[in-house]
Amino acid sequence: MMMDVQQYLRRISCSGLCARSPTLDTLRALHLQHLLAVPFEDLAIHTGERVRLELPLLYDKIVLKRRGGFCYENNGLFSWLLSQLGFEVEILAAQVKNRFTGAYGPPFDHLIMMVSLDGERWLCDVGYGTGFQRPLSLETDSPQTQSHGVYRVRADGNLFFMETQSESDEWVEMYKFTLQPCQREDFKAMCEYHQSSSSSIFFCKSLCSLLLPNGRITLMGRKLILTHLTSEDGPPVKTTRTDLTDDEIIEILREKFGIVLTSPLIIKDVDIVPPPVNY
């Protein structure tokens, strides 16, 4: 299968960026537009499909079929796009701190990227779900304020922690990582783990989430969660509707996420079993 950069850019409403040089402004625009266009979702796991990491398959799913994916898919394909546009990209491995269990996932739990540009390093991640909107500088541990939150990357020796600021101004760890370069193939075993382990959120919960200019929309199981950012300094306003019917979920996927499933969705939302080791 031929993978077309222009078609990918049209998918994320960035057609005009192809001719531009690989600048920080271009990187920021690509990162944000990808999050606004491509959902973070694990629906393949709950429709009897298998998630595979070969780039042509990711391109077919995300670009041609206008679906989304989880980190290995969204970040795996986005890293290819950046390299095609002339960016210097390294794939890195991270371990996510599970917000339900408080435990870190195993090694290769999460795929992220580092882009080196004009002597500076930038953390990119379009496959986390509720993460940052634009690349984060790896050259500072100072707070970095963005449209939907405040973030920082804190170094502790060779280990880095990506953190977000809570409503009570406390720093909350989201994931940890090193700068050791990886290959996409390195994540195959963990990709299988996330499709079959009761310790994985993706196996336990059918979910689909998309960044909005003024908030976020998320489907998890039979819950619809809408987050709206206010223009004031107060916390985001969150609205949750539960007990959605199967038909309502399919309609929301089509209208709000642009997703039309070709196989029946088995809706799931069960408790996550904490892993035996806190890595």
Please give the pLDDT value at position 103. Answer: 83
Spot the catalytic one: 71, 124, 191, 208: 71
In the prediction, which pLDDT does 87 show?
A: 97
239 close to 228: Cβ distance less than 8 angstroms: yes
Please tell me the predicted confidence (pLDDT) of residue 117.
96
- For 5-186, the fitting CATH number among 3.90.1200.10, 3.30.2140.20, 3.40.50.1370, 3.40.50.150 is 3.30.2140.20
pLDDT at res. 203: 97
10 Å CB burial of residue 205 (0-12, 13-18, 19+) is buried
Catalytic site residue 71? yes
According to the model, what pLDDT value does residue 275 have?
77
- The dihedral formed by the CA atoms of 202, 208, 212 and 214, expressed in degrees to the nearest 10: -80
- pLDDT score at 168: 86
Number of residues that this document lists for the chain:
279
In this structure, how many other beta carbons lie within 10 angstroms of the beta carbon of residue 118?
A: 7
Q: Among the options 31, 34, 46, 110, which is catalytic?
A: 110
pLDDT in tens, 8-40: 999 999 987 665 689 999 999 999 999 999 999
125 is catalytic: yes
Query: What 3 state SS string does the chain have?
Result: CCCCHHHHHHHCCCHHHCCCCCCHHHHHHHHHHHHHHCCEECHHHHCCCCCCCCHHHHHHHHHHCCCCECHHHHHHHHHHHHHHCCCEEEEEEEEEECCCCCCECCCCCEEEEEEEECCEEEEECCCCCCCCCCCEECCCCCCEEECCEEEEEEEECCEEEEEEECCCCCEEEEEEECCCCECHHHHHHHHHHHHHCCCCHHHHECEEEEEECCEEEEEECCEEEEEECCCCCCCCEEEEECCCCHHHHHHHHHHHHCCCCCCCCCCCECCCCCCCCCC
Alpha carbon distance 164, 233 (integer Å): 16
Query: For each of the chain's 279 residues, which pLDDT tens digit applies?
Result: 789 999 999 999 998 766 568 999 999 999 999 999 999 999 999 999 999 999 999 999 999 999 999 999 999 999 999 999 999 999 999 999 987 778 898 999 999 999 999 999 999 999 998 999 999 999 999 999 999 999 999 999 999 999 999 888 899 999 999 999 999 999 999 999 999 999 999 999 999 999 999 999 999 999 999 999 876 666 678 888 889 999 999 999 999 999 999 999 999 999 998 877 767
Starting at the edge strand found earlier in the chain, the sheet holding 120-124 runs 136-137, 120-124, 110-117, 88-96, 171-177, 159-165, 149-156, 144-146
- pTM exceeds 0.85 for this model: yes
Active site residue 156: no
pLDDT of the residue at 193: 96
Q: Which residues of 120-137 are buried (b: 16+ CB within 10 A; e: fewer)?
A: ebbbbbbbbbebbbbbbe
pLDDT at 98: 82
Of 125, 148, 191, 208, which residue is the catalytic one? Answer: 125
Q: Cα-Cα-Cα-Cα dihedral of 250, 205, 218, 55, to 10°?
A: -80
Q: Which tens digits make up the pLDDT trace of 52-83?
A: 999 999 999 999 999 999 999 999 999 999 99
Q: Domains of the chain: which residue ranges?
A: 5-186
CA end-to-end distance (rounded Å), the chain: 39
Can you give the pLDDT at residue 229? 87
